[in-house]
Amino acid sequence: MNRPDALTPDQSRAREAVRGMSRPAADPAFRARLRGQFVSGTIAPAARPVVGLVPFIARPAVRWGGAVLAAAAAFVVVSLLNQAPDWRMRTVSGDGIVVVDGVPVPIAHAADLERRLRAGARVQVPAGVRIELMSEGQLAIQFSPNTEASVPGLPGRWFGRAGTAELRSGELRVTTGRGFHGARLAIETPEARVEVTGTTFALICEPAGTCLCVMNGRVKIGARAGGAMHDVIEGRRRYVFADGRPDESADMRHTEHEPLGEFRDRMRGSLGAR
């Protein structure tokens, strides 16, 4: 093995070859032109950007950093664009105090109430109060008196098209709009789970169980604990008992026809007909 500083004959020859290389001269015309510019102070960057901004941008660290920033910015922009319109409070009726995420809000403070009613917020609606929320073009939901539920998460416009909500007690009436097409909303009650893909229905959570009444379209419902999901078609209801008895199917409750129809028709203008 050679000493670190010792050169092999091949290396010595290589070194002499490099040292013996000729010294090329620049093209006379280029040389003269550049000389004139240099002496007069009019020298300008090369027509082709040799160094400077472009190479700076293209340096690996900058390039990758820029790519990451661009991707992050694109992700933020796409995520923002993907968001469905926020929930807006369409109507609130009655008199009382609504509890949102543990904070009591008198319904007279409509602006404060609307600000707090965001996707995922837990809402306790007292007796005598009814609240309607709408996401323009997507979904409208009515919280009936004596209802405890969460405000549904809104499905994205293009991806992440699933929302969830929870109904602990009381009744939710839901109708979907044109923008909801292809999306899915899952609502869980203590004993049942429903999956919505485009419909008008009421979900009633009672001490004995959960009743799903479908006015339009088709909604799936099954036990929250798991197992098969059952389609409930237009005009029918299905009852999931809290004590584990077998589900019951029948025509939808007569008491739901009018309020569901009225709710659907009132929201149709903003949601778009389906």
Partner 1 sequence: MTPDDRPAHPASPSVSTTGDSPAGPGAALPRHVLERVRAHDPQALGEFYDRYVDRVFGLALRLLGERAVAEDITSEVFLKVHRAAAQLDASRDPAPWLAAITTNACRDLWRSGAHRMNRRSDSLEDAPGLAERLTRGQDEPEREALAREREGLVRQAIEALPENLRVAVVLHDYEGLDHLEVAKITGIEHAAARKRYSRALEALGRSLKETLG
**Residues 179-238 contacting partner 1, CB under 8 A:** none
| Residue whose CB is less far from partner 1, 14 or 208 | 14
Strand 162-176 with 184-188, pairing: parallel
**Residues 149-168 contacting partner 1, CB under 8 A:** none
| Residue whose CB is less far from partner 1, 50 or 228 | 50
To partner 1, the closest distance from the beta carbon of 23 in angstroms equals: 5
Asked if 48 is part of the footprint of partner 1 (rule: CB under 8 A), the reply reads yes
Spatial CA neighbour of 85 closest among 136, 133, 132, 140: 136
Spatial CA neighbour of 169 closest among 202, 140, 210: 210
Residues whose CB is less than 8 angstroms from the CB of residue 229 and which lie 6 or more positions away in sequence, other chains included: 193, 195, 220, 221, 222
Query: Rounded CA gap, 216 and 97, in Å?
Result: 32
Asked if 35 is part of the footprint of partner 1 (rule: CB under 8 A), the reply reads yes
Looking at residue 261, its amino acid is G
Asked if 19 is part of the footprint of partner 1 (rule: CB under 8 A), the reply reads yes
Binding mask 65-104 for partner 1 (x = CB under 8 A): ----------------------------------------
3-state class (DSSP) for residue 93: strand
Asked if 28 is part of the footprint of partner 1 (rule: CB under 8 A), the reply reads no
Query: Six-digit token pair at 260?
Result: 């569901």
Asked if 60 is part of the footprint of partner 1 (rule: CB under 8 A), the reply reads yes
Spatial CA neighbour of 150 closest among 196, 219, 99: 99
Query: Rounded CA gap, 24 and 22, in Å?
Result: 6
| Residue whose CB is less far from partner 1, 6 or 273 | 6
| Residue whose CB is less far from partner 1, 15 or 245 | 15
| Residue whose CB is less far from partner 1, 42 or 111 | 42
Give contact residues for partner 1 (rule: CB under 8 A).
4-8, 10-15, 17-27, 30-31, 34-35, 38-41, 43-51, 54-56, 58-60
